[in-house]
Structure 1
Amino acid sequence: MRDRVDVGGISADPAPLSGLVASTDSREVPEGDYFYEISQLLKQRYVEPITDEQKLALGAIRGMVASLGDPDSLYMDKDEYRVYKNAKAGKYEGIGVYVELEYSDEPSVQAKGSAHPVDTDEALLGGMRIPKLTVVTVVPGSPADRAGVQVGDWVEYIDDHWVPNAATVISFRKLEKAVQQGKAKLEDLVKERVELRQRTKKTLLPLKAKDKLVMGTSGTLKIVWRRGDVARTTEIKKEASAFSTPNPEDPALRLAFNSEAPNLLKKAIQGKSSIVIDLKNNAVGDFGSMKQCLEALAPSGVYGSLKTAKTSIPFKTESGNANPPKVVLLVDESTRGLAEIFALALSSSKIAKLSGSEMSGHRIVVEDNSLPDGSGYTLATAEYKVTAK
């Protein structure tokens, strides 16, 4: 049940509160009516005239998406959304990487006072989930690639500003606990506390740090990366970079799930009995294009399921290739999202063989939506599940 909203204000002659906002009825109200009443209240009671109703609507969307607390569901301003759409097309700014907010492990322990489970380490943070800004794609030949950045590296500092992450805070909490148990020295804890306080004086929040890495084509960034327990400092100059245009005659066809992918794949398999497809460095794409590529390589049928908030629906193709070629898919930890779903759908059905290392484990369908002012947002809509054979 939604709690009653009490919005106060100071006015010599306050406008009457109407409808749902003023009501003391504790019954749940339709969301559309609720937000309409709030917008009317703001326009009636706010100290300055409100002339831009679109701004109110966009602010509501921004807040609702942020409230999900989901690293795959993000609001982006028009510049951030432009960069995101370009990345889907294989064109990059910044240092030539795609980065995501990643948590350390799958949640497993229920945090006190939280509706969301957290893992054991995150319980040390009082139930907070602090992500690491992690590289999931490196464009070959990009500034990041030339500097030795790899998929899985995560950002600790940018231009001497600390990017908060769970690893640092958890390390401090563990040391604190060890001191309480007599397993560590108090002076070590004091030293660690002083260092942590120094870090917090110059911080850069993860989403702002992400913008610095992926936006712009000029300037140089001093970045401290973490790879396991090893820290590396690099100075990387921003510039435009892009994946090379795929050629149907390439020994291994790099397949990015954009609007051109289905026709490219059909051309590549024409007259061939086998094909090698490179799905590495593949983090973003279009669900419809991925499904069309699946239809080009596999007979019609069910290829797993998509688990949503309310149900689980079959992931199936209505049309397909009755005589598919032999398929080998090149994969590694940079194969994620739609690329991983595509790989699992084909490999679990014995239509394709996987070659390479373990994939990321990220099997979320993410859709993106544009807004009238050029901004947009992503929304995680389903999780892919392999059908047991």
Structure 2
Amino acid sequence: MNDNGRALKGFIAGIIATMLLLFVVTGYFLFSVNEHMGRAVRVISILKSESLEGVTSEQMFEGAIKGIVGSLEDPYSVYMDPREYEQLETNMGGSYGGVGIWVGMQEGNRLTVISPIKGSPAYEKGLEPGDVIVRIGDLDTSSMDMDTAVEHMKGEPGTEVVLGIQRSEQRELLEVAITREIINIPSVEAEIMEDHPNIAYIDMIMFSHTTAGDLAGLLAELEQTGYEGIVLDLRDNPGGSLEAAIEVSDFFVPEGPIVHIVSSRENVQIDATGSRIDKPLVVLVNGGSASASEIVAGAIRDSGAGTVVGTKTFGKGLIQTVYELDGGTAVKLTTAKYLTPDKHDIDKKGIEPQHKVEADPEAGKDVQLEKAIEILNEKIK
């Protein structure tokens, strides 16, 4: 047999081997699917015929979908029924009935306070970033997903909910009774500092769909005052909209990347447009600065657009996408993580400030803000 014949024979043998491999893999997949489907059908049959408590087909399928998403063991991924999805949309819109607290999952998926909303019932009752919520009323939160926990804390204004709080420096459980109110969440506030008329103070409370537009309007008003430097306060800001974080960062980052978004399919770099506000900038952060706040702080720090002051941030570097389904339902799924411009992965690590300043409530003054003003005055000279 000549060389061409041997090559053809080898080529054909390769094709046959590949087809056999595909057949085996496909056969195993179908066998596995059929095995599990058969088991599911059997369970449905048993529930229908033997369960003491009646269950409808709709309830079983809803439960199955929740279970599929729950199999990810990701506290930020969840299937939402129409009521839950409506609540999510309401929250992003800026108001809801509840205690006024932002939560996340930390240290073994424990329900943890990111920050209380300023002026809210939770804020007035003294809840702090880092508090672990171990009970909501009589319900243990250890096996509760975050969205379910949030729903249990919400309710009609005027009703009361008791939270069982574990605080790091205290061994005993704190029981905090909080009366729910309508929680109105402003996105951003700004003013010229009374004792420092050359400094604009911008309090970024959360990142919603309106944040960038609100900020643009406030900055236009502030421009009339002739201010020379900016304090951007991201302390106790739990995050929110990814798009809003990118748009806000673009106000301050001069050029280059704002954030790298890494998914299972691609890596995307989002760049600044080069239309920044060219003024000295200091950013305040703490353990309650999370998610979108960390995108902004990381972009400003890595790009050199400003100086970060305070304490280490929360460390949530995951991005969720909401997929609308039929019947008013939706899936909120972790689809990507983000990296700072220098490609630092901050998930469960946080961002370290360039100037570490611990808050001192007993000092009678905001020592972190004072440090920010000191740094700005040096830059303005």
TM-score normalised by length of structure 2: 0.65
Instruction: Trace 1:84-233 onto structure 2 (pairs within 5 A).
Output: 84-104=88-108, 131-164=109-142, 208-230=148-170, 231-233=173-175
2:201 is aligned with 1:252: yes
SS at match of 2:298: helix
**Structure 2: distance between partners of 1:266 and 1:207:** 32
**Partner of residue 86, structure 2:** 82
Q: 1:219 to 1:274 in 2, by over 3 A?
A: same
**Structure 2: distance between partners of 1:84 and 1:46:** 35
8 Å CA contact 1:304–1:315 kept in 2: the answer is yes
**Structure 1: distance between partners of 2:234 and 2:336:** 21
Pick aligned residue for 1:373 from 321, 327, 335: 327
Q: Which digits, 9 at most, give the CA deviation of each residue in 1:9-56, with x for residues without a partner?
A: xxxxxxxxxxxxxx9952547xxxx89xx7xx97xx9799xxx99989
Q: 1:222 to 1:294 in 2, by over 3 A?
A: closer
Runs of 5+ consecutive residues of structure 1 not aligned to the other structure? 1-22, 105-130, 166-203
2:73 is aligned with 1:69: yes
Rg bigger for which structure? 2
2:304 is aligned with 1:350: yes
**Structure 2: distance between partners of 1:57 and 1:288:** 33
Amino acid at match of 2:160: T
8 Å CA contact 1:269–1:275 kept in 2: the answer is no
**Structure 2: distance between partners of 1:301 and 1:147:** 43
**Partner of residue 363, structure 1:** 317
Amino acid at match of 1:242: N
8 Å CA contact 2:250–2:258 kept in 1: the answer is no
**Structure 2: distance between partners of 1:102 and 1:245:** 25
> In terms of mean alpha carbon deviation, does 303-312 or 338-347 score higher?
303-312
Q: Which digits, 9 at most, give the CA deviation of each residue in 1:299-344, with x for residues without a partner?
A: 3422342222344332323x23155332222211111111101110
8 Å CA contact 2:298–2:341 kept in 1: the answer is no
Identity %: 22
8 Å CA contact 2:187–2:210 kept in 1: the answer is no
Amino acid at match of 2:134: E
**Partner of residue 313, structure 1:** 268
Q: Which digits, 9 at most, give the CA deviation of each residue in 1:84-130, with x for residues without a partner?
A: 333333324221112223334xxxxxxxxxxxxxxxxxxxxxxxxxx
8 Å CA contact 2:253–2:303 kept in 1: the answer is no
**Partner of residue 114, structure 1:** none
**Structure 1: distance between partners of 2:324 and 2:252:** 31
2:240 is aligned with 1:240: no
Q: Note the aligned Cα RMSD (angstroms).
A: 3.7
**Partner of residue 184, structure 1:** none
Q: Which structure features the higher share of helix residues?
A: 2
Runs of 5+ consecutive residues of structure 2 not aligned to the other structure? 1-23, 49-55, 193-199, 344-381
**Which structure exhibits the higher relative contact order, with contacts defined as CA atoms closer than 8 Å and separated by 6 or more residues?**
1
**Structure 1: distance between partners of 2:190 and 2:126:** 29
**Structure 2: distance between partners of 1:359 and 1:296:** 21
- Total equivalences in the alignment: 292
Cα distance, 1:149 vs structure 2: 1.0
Amino acid at match of 1:214: K
